[in-house]
Amino acid sequence: MRVALFITCVNDTLYPRTGQAVVTLLERLGVEVGFPDAQSCCGQPQFNTGYRHQTEPLVRRYATAFRDYDYVVTPSGSCAAMVRDNYPRIGAKAAAEGRGQELADAAAEAVPKTYELTEFLTDVLEVTDVGAYYPHTVTYHPTCHGLRMLGLGDRPRSLLAAVRGLTLVELPGAEECCGFGGTFAVKNAAVSAAMGADKARNITATGAEAVCTVDNSCQMHIGGTLARQGSTVRPVHIAEILASTEGNVW
């Protein structure tokens, strides 16, 4: 089984600890992971802002970078959803615009092997207890793309439930968007801030020490809002909780 990490541009640049946690976790579970250096961004910011044509080279790059692997694992529901939902659309539109079949083929190659981290753990490795230890009260915010585009369902929750020492508390209005939405946060700043503020208030009200997500981008927005509100709740990526062990609390 040849497994590659797709670390995403946000993780790579701003949250390397999340990537390191994925490596630690997967290696602990006996998976040998590779990191093809030719990888880059999935293209979601451009695509979702309307620059589909700017996304095409990134689709091609993704397919090439991961060509030699059986699985691509990414600690981002949003980026996994971009590949799975939108790459085929980008390929089909390029073909319809008379630019050949090449991009559609690249997309077709990328889609079936791309997994979000919790999906990979539960569906491919078939584990829910990854031997983690995290002695904290945690609430879980299911990010929109993980929840609705990928259909992660209970996977992250069942992984968290198996973590020793962890107390999971329910988040009111959990399934409501945090208001990040990529460039939405800048283009519709007032509404995004209002959504973020409500989400942050709900999180603080749970009394949890940390709020867990499967996406660093939502975490950045939620964490930034919590910090501005003076809340002490820590945003944490699920990979960091799952990588945590008795000897090494992340």
Partner 1 sequence: MPSFPRAADASTRNTQLRANLRHATHTIRAKRATAVAELDDWSRLRAAGAAIKDRTLRHLDHYLERLESAVTAAGGHVHWAADAEEANRIVTELVQATGEREVVKVKSMATQEIGLNSALATAGITAYETDLAELIVQLGDDLPSHILVPAIHRNRGEIRDIFAERMAQWGRPAPEGLTDAPADLAEAARLHLREKFLNAKVGISGANFMVAETGTLVVVESEGNGRMCLTLPETLISVVGIEKVVPTFQDLEVFLQLLPRSSTAERMNPYTSTWTGTTDEDGPRAFHLVLLDNGRTDTLADTVGRQALRCIRCSACLNVCPVYERAGGHAYGSAYPGPIGAILTPQLRGTGSEVDASLPYASSLCGACYEVCPVAIDIPEVLVHLRERVVEGGPASVRGTRTVIKPAKGHAAERAAMRAARWTLDHPRVLRTGQRLASRTRRFHPRRLPGPGRAWSDTRELPRVPEESFRDWWQRTRGESRTEGRKTT
Site stretch for partner 1 (CB under 8 A), options 10-18, 100-108, 116-124, 125-133: 10-18
Residues 243 and 237 sit within 8 Å (Cβ to Cβ): no
The nearer residue to partner 1, 161 or 186, going by C-beta atoms, is: 186
Site track 101-140 with partner 1 (rule: CB under 8 A), x = hit = ----------------------------------------
Residues 6+ apart with CB under 8 A from 75: 7, 8, 11, 18, 19, 21, 22, 116, 117, 214, 216, 237, 238, 239
From the list 3, 19, 83, 84, which residue makes contact with partner 1 (rule: CB under 8 A)?
Answer: 19
Stretch that binds partner 1, among 121-129, 159-167, 222-230, 236-244 (CB under 8 A): 222-230
Closer CB to partner 1, residue 230 or residue 247?
Answer: 230
Q: According to the binding rule CB under 8 A, does residue 231 interact with partner 1?
A: no
Identified binder of partner 1 from the candidate list 3, 25, 26, 41, rule CB under 8 A? 41
Cα 189 from Cα 50, distance rounded (Å): 18
DSSP state for residue 70 in the 8-state scheme: S
122 and 155 Cβ atoms separated by less than 8 Å: yes
The whole-angstrom separation of Cα 242 and Cα 195 is 28
Give the full edge-to-edge strand order of the sheet including 234-237. Answer: 167-169, 137-140, 210-213, 234-237
Least distance from partner 1 to the Cβ atom of residue 246, Å: 23
Among the listed ranges 61-69, 117-125, 130-138, 201-209, the one in contact with partner 1 (CB under 8 A) is 61-69
